[in-house]
């Protein structure tokens, strides 16, 4: 072998080895910063899955800094190629990819005989507004459609950072209104029994959409009969609620990562991340109202059992506020909407997980709805963690606890 080629091979091997050692070191460091309490269901498997996700994220960051590709683009491609499993369509279900008002959707129609018109569900995938897509919730939507005899529409809304707020919400509105207008004629669905729902940031879009439609009060436009909110992200005013403190390092959603997703959705300025976590973006005149709605005193005693520290009032920074003031509007933070908007929302299902940074805001939204004498069904998963539903029927990535979450959703939808 030519000595020059041999040197090139050795040099390349050394670079690969150095890269792998760097990734392993960074993964180890990240894993040491995670904290999975003993109460989490299947905690050792969650450790393993978290390690995989951390490794993918680190490789994405390295490639991003090298100018090879954007870290989010790498994450999307990896998840699509290696972590998303599309199984053959089961008997009793018809699945079609379509477009509603130019928005990609996937429609799941039961083929079993139905007396009269079916109910419908328009579902918005979670994923921090940057990762979720139709394929990622395919198994979830299939299961809901089959078990509840419901026509389910999964919406492939545009994603950040390429398409920031309000583009994803606009797509959800366009797809939902289109389906409501053709539900009976084209899908044999009762338009008065069509709910909207989603998980995580998809649930955020569902809640925001209901408030947007209610505000418009268009007489001829049908309105969702219910909203199904699975561990929803509902506010970006306070990242120091007890659940944010207790679960700040519990996979698969860390406290800092939630701020990252909000910023990607709004403006992409990651330099504001620490400012948002500290709360300096909240104007002084809004703080008393937000404190009333977000006070830990509104939470059940069990949510405080693992302890929390009262966060000192942050000094307001007007420059930070103006850079991201949309984040405090009701279309991004539905929990912070005025009472009049909360009053107009449809019956609501809310699911929260004990080991989730978003646990408290789901419960606090429930309280605001109940204060308005709205119909609310709440289910809390004691051993649950954020993102459970995405592991439903995913082979070696599956978590049995994901079945528990879906069973609760199925039971609620059957009653609509």
Q: Which residues are catalytic?
A: 200, 356, 386
The DSSP-derived string for 83-124 is: I---PPPPTTEEEEEEEETTEEEEEEEE-S--SSPEEEEEEE
Decide: 233 and 203 in contact? Cβ < 8 Å: yes
Q: How many residues does the chain have?
A: 416
176 sits in the region (left: phi over 0; alpha: psi -120 to 50; else beta) called alpha
CA angle 173-394-356, nearest 5°?
65
Phi and psi at residue 198, to the nearest 5°: 175, 175
Exposure string for 159-193, b = 16+ CB within 10 A, e = fewer: bbbebbbbbbbbbbbbbbbbbbbebbeebebbbeb
Helix (H, G, I), strand (E, B) or coil at 230: strand
Q: Which helix (H) or strand (E) holds 225?
A: none
């Amino acid at each position: 072998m030519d000595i020059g080629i041999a040197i090139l091979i050795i040099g390349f091997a050394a670079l690969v080895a150095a890269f792998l050692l760097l990734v392993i070191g960074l993964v180890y460091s990240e894993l040491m910063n995670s904290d999975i309490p003993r109460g989490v269901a299947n905690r050792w498997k969650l450790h393993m899955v978290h390690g995989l996700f951390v490794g993918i994220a680190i490789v994405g960051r390295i490639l991003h800094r090298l100018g090879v590709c954007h870290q989010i683009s790498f994450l999307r491609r990896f998840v699509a190629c290696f972590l998303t499993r599309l199984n053959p369509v089961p008997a009793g279900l018809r699945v079609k990819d379509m477009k509603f008002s130019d928005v990609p959707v996937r429609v799941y129609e039961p083929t079993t005989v139905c007396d009269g018109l079916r109910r419908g569900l328009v579902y918005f995938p979670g994923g921090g507004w940057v990762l979720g897509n139709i394929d990622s919730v395919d198994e979830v939507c299939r299961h809901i459609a089959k078990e509840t005899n419901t026509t389910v529409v999964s919406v492939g809304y545009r994603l950040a950072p390429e398409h920031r707020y309000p583009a994803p919400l606009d797509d959800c509105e366009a797809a939902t209104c289109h389906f409501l207008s053709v539900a009976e004629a084209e899908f044999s669905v009762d338009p008065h029994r069509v709910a909207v729902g989603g998980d995580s940031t998809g649930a955020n879009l569902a809640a925001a959409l209901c408030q947007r439609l209610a505000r418009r009060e268009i007489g001829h436009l049908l309105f969702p009969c219910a909203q199904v909110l699975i561990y929803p992200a509902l506010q970006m005013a306070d990242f120091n609620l007890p659940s944010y403190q207790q679960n700040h390092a519990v996979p698969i959603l860390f406290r800092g990562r939630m701020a990252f997703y909000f910023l990607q959705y709004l403006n992409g300025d990651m330099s504001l991340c620490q400012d948002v976590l500290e709360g300096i973006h909240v104007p002084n005149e809004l703080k008393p109202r937000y404190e009333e709605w977000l006070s830990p005193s509104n939470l059940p005693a069990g949510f405080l059992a693992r302890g929390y520290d009262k966060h000192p009032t942050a000094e307001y920074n007007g420059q930070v506020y103006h850079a991201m003031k949309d984040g405090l509007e009701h279309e991004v933070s539905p929990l912070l909407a005025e009472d009049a908007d909360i009053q107009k929302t449809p019956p609501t299902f809310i699911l929260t997980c004990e080991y989730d940074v978003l646990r408290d805001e789901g419960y606090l939204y429930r309280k605001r709805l109940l204060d308005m004498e709205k119909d609310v069904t709440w289910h809390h998963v004691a051993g649950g963690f954020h993102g459970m539903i995405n592991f439903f029927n995913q082979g070696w990535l599956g978590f049995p606890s994901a079945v528990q979450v879906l069973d609760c959703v199925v039971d609620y939808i059957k009653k609509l």
